[in-house]
Chains A and B, each alone.
Chain A
Amino acid sequence: MTISPVDLRPAYKPADYKSDIKPIWCPGCGDYHVLMSFTRAFAQLALPPENIVVVSGIGCSSRIPAYVNCYGFHGVHGRSLTLAAGLKVTRPELTVVVASGDGDGYSIGGNHFLHACRRNIDMTYVVMDNHIYGMTKGQPSPTTEPEFDTALSPGGTGLRPFHPLVIALASGANFIARCFSGEPNETAAILVEAIRHPGFSFVEILSPCVTFRPDEAGWKNLVHPAPVAATSDPAKAARRIMTDDGFNIGILYRGNRRPYQPAVGQASVDLSELEKDFEL
């Protein structure tokens, strides 16, 4: 008779991470699949739902905290990374996942993106990139193509799109991956790796907006698995990321920087000691 070790962790199913709130997204929105990837990843990690916090800003993608059965914070536009930083630094035992979009994360929240990468706090940053502002009905975002015509930018912006993965790498992100929402199992697997990886993990998910960018329905034909394994060499990663076609799916960089986490919770002196410096 063979005796196998018993896994004492409670078994979780993806459904255990779904809330009872019905998502409000357009039919066909890529974010439905991202939600599916979230719950699958959490179940694979067997994390108690009450120990996960999903933090977001404003936009279609930022609605996701309400749809998972975890703790959540749906804050103001563009500041989710900072709210998450204050939470994670003071409650390091929690698993913190930040959800954002290309407008929320790269435009109004752009500065925080740089500093979150640099700070390298152990959290996972998921940006659902659809190259458009969906919730405000179709204005150009930092990743919109220069010639894309909108009411706010007739004839296109003429501006070169922002390259989030390069910026993440240059700013010090410790894990960089690109996913496609139409592949929820593959995305879930990458999210599991991202959450496990120490430090700041950045996962860009190409998530089509079928309402304002019907052309993005074609992304499913363009995406392809990254041809080579992830590197821990930032120079190599930079070359690959800068020269790929933007549809290269997989983990592209795994760094080994130590995460930022000051010791918290343990006082080394009594409170009454603090006034000693004041005494004349």
Chain B
Amino acid sequence: MENRENVSVAIVGSGGAGAITAGHFLLEAAGSVGWQGLLSRTVGPQIRGGEAAALVRLATHQVEYLPDRFDLLIGIDWLNAHRFGTEIEVGPQSLVVSDPRGGELPAGIAAAGARVIELPMKNMAKAIPDGRANMIALGVAARLLGLGVDVLSALLERRLVGKGPAAIQASRAGIAAGFAAAAEFDFDLRLDAPKPADTRRWLVSGNETAALGAVRGGVRFAAAYPITPATEILEWLAPNLAKVGGVLLQAEDELAAINMIIGSSFGGIPALTATSGPGLSLMIEALGLATAAETPLVVIDVMRGGPSTGIPTKSEQADLNIAVYGCHGDAPHLVLAPQSVGDCLFTTQWATYLAETLQSPAIVLSDQFIGQARAIIERPADVAFIGQRYKATDIVGAYKRYALAANGISPMAMPGTRGGQYTADGLTHTERGIPTSGEHDHNAQLDKRRDKLARFNFGDHWATIEGSGDLVVITWGSLTGVAREAIERAARDGVETRLLAPRLLSPVQPERFAAALDGKKRVLIVEQSHGAQFHRYLRAHYDLPAVRVLNRAGPLPIRVGEIHRAIMEWR
């Protein structure tokens, strides 16, 4: 048997068939025996009756992205699977398990040359009281991967405890039937033994780790309006903020949400909202207010396909322009992007720290892929970034809220502080905060707000920089892990390549960027945006050597193989 360090499984069914549940059980069972992995769901916008697939990658090590092709594809049914287009690819080495009553195999999959085994999962489930076909599929996958029935049984006991013994028994019987059927397949996907865990492991989504990062950074108030794919952040924060003395308000719309957090932060309580593209569009006016009034806050934008309503359930990296340039006027603020499920914690915590320190709004550009992927990760290390706002205390004489200072950061009086009374204002104001329309104060305050960001030392966290070579792959956000794997693959082919992935997108870091590109001859820019927004952003702010761009709109993710090919073609 060949060594196998990772394996990928896609379980497909129409919405409500339980494909996603089967995938979650598979991931969690694999995690319980020490494997790591990741699950991304891909679904249509419908709650029931649309298309749904659990895309699961399991490995002996931490993984951050999906494979180019799936080793095993199980179709509980194919009713709406054509809507996935080429999102789920299989190859000649793959196995497709298909229920003959589940409709016709999509043409792209049929043409891939994979081995196809028909298995009447629906009928098998019918033979079991309350049986469901998704548990048959789970049994098939578990058997082929080498997961024991006992592991799945233990998981069922934990996960279905609320549904009663009959439900557990039905699921167990389904898994056993799938297991028995797969024993006849003569197809082996067994993973190597897991590496022993030296740290605790988490099973989390990027939305959850982002929320925890914000709370660790000091956030104690959130206000938000539900929106796919950001809602999980809010649903995690609602009970957990309450535990630490904070609160979440569900706002009537995003305009309310962003203004509520401005109010909280003005009062001294660090605050956050989470949204996606359409919500960010609504928040832009108030983001300008927070910039002008120098009110710290954090906005997590879990990017989805745009423009307009776009593709609510699928990932894209096309909110870069609005995040960096969306405000009217000259309104410098912080924009950051996490690079993996685990990094959502660090980046959001750091964003909270930076927002508080620099008295500025911070936009965290997560995306649907890392936001909603569930991954088994090693517990991220604790970091010391806890928001510390420069507050005005013991005020004597006339207080100047917007006093000019060498580093641009002026002490902020919290309501309740005697002598600190001032009016925060979106109008151009003097150092005292008094409205003015004079050019002197306008320029002085514009300079102040620019300089406080430009003069701050952001340290090494500003970017991930790895490897050497004449070619630099520049990417950002959730594509960082994909690019890293492509670079490793190129290295095995003898081509050294550098990875540069800025975590801090605004303010730009010209000196650090130039140092990272020093002596390099070619850059390959990789991004999930139809208009190549990241490429244009880099062009606007940095000097680049020869450039090629690998860009595409969502939802079809840019694959490791594509980046690897682009590297090899341009070495």
Contact = CB atoms under 8 A, between A and B. Distances in A.
Contacts of B443: none
A279 B423 contact: no
Contact of B423 (A73, A93, A115): A73
Q: Which 9 A-B pairs have the closest CB atoms?
A: A86-B263, A86-B260, A72-B423, A87-B263, A83-B263, A82-B256, A278-B202, A86-B264, A82-B259
Interface of B: 28, 31-32, 200-204, 208-209, 212, 215-216, 220-221, 223, 240, 242-247, 249, 251-253, 255-257, 259-269, 271, 285-286, 289, 293, 376, 379, 413, 415-427, 434-435
24 contacts: A50-B420, A53-B267, A66-B423, A71-B413, A71-B415, A74-B424, A75-B286, A82-B256, A85-B256, A86-B263, A87-B263, A87-B267, A90-B220, A90-B263, A90-B267, A91-B415, A93-B416, A264-B220, A271-B216, A271-B244, A275-B202, A278-B204, A278-B212, A280-B200
A1 interface: no
A83 B266 contact: yes
A92 B236 CA distance: 24
B259 A83 contact: yes
Contact of A50 (B220, B253, B255, B416): B416
Contacts of A54: 423
A53 to B, nearest CB: 5
Contact of A51 (B28, B252, B416, B419): B416
Contacts of A70: 421
Contacts of B259: 75-76, 79, 82-83, 86
A110 to B, nearest CB: 11
Given A112-B256, A115-B252, A271-B216, A86 B262 contact: yes
A248 B423 CA distance: 34
Nearest to A64: B423
Given A65-B423, A275-B202, 19 more contacts: A21-B434, A73-B262, A74-B423, A75-B289, A75-B424, A76-B259, A79-B256, A79-B286, A82-B257, A86-B263, A90-B263, A91-B415, A112-B255, A112-B256, A275-B379, A278-B202, A278-B204, A280-B201, A280-B202
Given A86-B221, A86-B262, A112-B252, A266 B245 contact: yes
B421 A280 contact: no
**Residues of A contacting B: mostly:** mixed
A56 to B, nearest CB: 9
Interface of A: 19, 21, 48-51, 53-55, 65-66, 69-76, 78-79, 82-91, 93-94, 111-112, 114-115, 262-269, 271, 273-275, 278-280
Nearest to B435: A66
Contacts of B32: 280
A257 B242 CA distance: 23
B215 A53 contact: no
Contacts of A263: 242, 245
B221 A79 contact: no
Nearest to B270: A90
A82 B251 CA distance: 8
B268 to A, nearest CB: 7
Contact of A86 (B28, B223, B425, B435): B223
Given A72-B424, A74-B427, A274 B244 contact: yes
Contacts of B417: 50
B38 to A, nearest CB: 13
A74 B289 CA distance: 10
Nearest to B211: A274
A266 B241 CA distance: 11
A76 B289 contact: yes
Task: Tell which of B221, B253, B419, B424 has the most Cβ of chain A within 10 Å.
Answer: B424
A79 B255 contact: yes
A73 B427 CA distance: 11
A115 B256 contact: yes
A269 to B, nearest CB: 5
A19 B425 CA distance: 15
B245 A94 contact: no
Contact of A82 (B263, B267, B268): B263
B249 A89 contact: yes
B83 to A, nearest CB: 32
A50 to B, nearest CB: 5
A73 B266 contact: yes
Contacts of B200: 279-280
B255 to A, nearest CB: 6
B423 A111 contact: no
Nearest to A63: B435
A160 to B, nearest CB: 24
A208 to B, nearest CB: 24
Contact of B247 (A51, A83, A115, A262): A262
A139 to B, nearest CB: 20
Contacts of A86: 221, 223, 249, 259-265, 267, 271
Contacts of B208: 278
A271 B201 CA distance: 18
Nearest to A54: B423
A51 B415 contact: yes
Contact of A89 (B247, B289, B293): B247
User: Counting chain B CB atoms within 10 Å of each CB, which of A73, A79, A84 scores highest?
Assistant: A73
Given A79-B259, A275-B202, A268 B415 contact: no
B271 A76 contact: no
Contacts of B423: 54, 65-66, 71-74
Given A87-B263, A94-B415, A264 B255 contact: no
Contacts of A84: 263
Nearest to A114: B252
A87 B435 contact: no
Contact of B422 (A72, A94, A262, A280): A72
A280 B253 contact: no
A253 to B, nearest CB: 23
A262 B419 CA distance: 29
A14 to B, nearest CB: 16
B348 to A, nearest CB: 14
